[in-house]
Amino acid sequence: MQAIRLPAVLLGAAALALAAPACAQALRAEEVAARANAALEAAPVFDGHNDVPNQLRDRFANRLADFDFTDTSATGASHPDGRAMHTDLARLRQGRVGAQFWSVYVPATKNEAEAVRQVLEQIDVTRRLIDRYPDDLQLATTADEVERAMMQGRIASLLGAEGGHAIGSSLAVLRQLHALGVRYLTLTHNANVPWADAATDTPEHDGLTDFGRAVVREMNRLGMLVDLSHVSEATMMDALDEARAPVIFSHSGARAVTGHARNVPDSVLARLPENGGVVMVVALPRFISEAVRQWGARRAGEEARLKALWLGQPGKVAEGLAAWDKANPEPRATISDMADHIDHIRKVAGVEHIGIGGDFDGMPSGPEGFEDVRGYPALFTELARRGYSQAELEMIASRNILRVMRAAEAYAASLADVPPGEAAINAPAPE
């Protein structure tokens, strides 16, 4: 067979192509980084969930006199495990965070009256923290105020109440939280409330009760975002049936990627385009990594076995569990795991329904490369590497959640003449 002779110019081009892959890859990496950087310049991160207020309660008893939010990297001494906080002003700037929902959370183990008192304390300490750093933080209650703070170079600071126990089964308390600046309520935390089922508790109500539906209606009337992180699938479905404004998941992943009950199933993701809501993807390792979740289940099983084997001998249990840990090191979640959840939500619901809700200072650590709030640019670089356009990155960073806020505000404005709801959880039967 006669050899094919290529023109010299093509031979030269082929030689250059073979010699240049490393250079081409470097160029692509530069383009990827530039795309992520441009997106975050145009649309800084608007994160859906950060637990600094709970750290203020647990570490500092809500006293700010000795707390320096400019740099919290040396706060390990204030934690039983020596763990420093994930968040401070310097690292928020490095992470390109332009707006933050601060979680005014109180434990779901509190009775409702105590929960109401404590959530007021968390609102108070968070607002005092915002006021203490006026050059860096600015309270925001509307989408316009968020954008205005960003334009002025401040981090827009919003309040989100995590867990319906914080309203004490009272629409009046709900309205007062809104009046104090709270702009979302997570309907449950890890335990059921008297009117809604949680994802991680034994179902009691098969979703929302009639009063729970009234809570959703009243939140829509107020322009308060209905947050469905932490709730059961039945509660998600009932809330979507009732809601007339977009909902949010302030810090959740996709259950099809990691099977944790805290994540959002495809049946719910498929309904988001009609509702207009967003899933703000979480960074908590056991929610985003199936390997970490499975490791945790195995470890829990081993702990239960040891406790059954060594009844009344906690030292033996601790010794056995330490040996198991040494032989079975915990896998590490990665930024790629987090991006996998974003990819899946994009596939099922669309890129218009994705945001970011890190859950920093509400977990031991984020995934590798995203251990604290400095990590957002690395996540957006990974998404750009996967082919997300600048416009899509901007949507995920903040434009989607701003659209949701505006839609909720517009719906509330359309109900300006509707009186406040008067439903009661234990209303007397009509005579």
Spot the catalytic one: 86, 251, 341, 353: 251
Residue 51 annotated to the active site:
yes
Run of H or E including 222: helix 210-222
Spot the catalytic one: 86, 165, 178, 189: 189
Residue 242 annotated to the active site:
no
Go through 310-340 and write b for each residue having 16 or more CB atoms within 10 A of its CB, e for each that does not: eeeeeeebeebbeeeeeeeeebebbbbbbbb
Give the angle subtended at the CA of 75 by the CAs of 72 and 79, to the nearest 5°: 140
- Candidates 111, 117, 99, 118; CA nearest to 58 is 118
Q: Residue 189 and residue 229: Cα distance in Å, rounded?
A: 8
Spot the catalytic one: 51, 337, 361, 392: 51
Residue 49 annotated to the active site:
yes
The DSSP output letter for 371 is S
Residue 382 annotated to the active site:
no
Q: Residue 141 and residue 164: Cα distance in Å, rounded?
A: 20
Q: Residue 98 and residue 89: Cα distance in Å, rounded?
A: 11
Spot the catalytic one: 88, 233, 359, 392: 359
Question: Alpha carbon of 232 to those of 202, 204, 260, 261, 419: distances in Å?
Answer: 10, 11, 11, 8, 30
Q: Where are the alpha helices (DSSP H) in 95-151?
A: 112-132, 143-151
Spot the catalytic one: 86, 205, 230, 353: 230
Spot the catalytic one: 49, 205, 341, 353: 49
Spot the catalytic one: 47, 86, 88, 162: 162
Q: Residue 334 and residue 315: Cα distance in Å, rounded?
A: 34
The DSSP output letter for 313 is -
Residue 343 annotated to the active site:
no
List, by residue number, the catalytic residues: 49, 51, 162, 189, 230, 251, 359
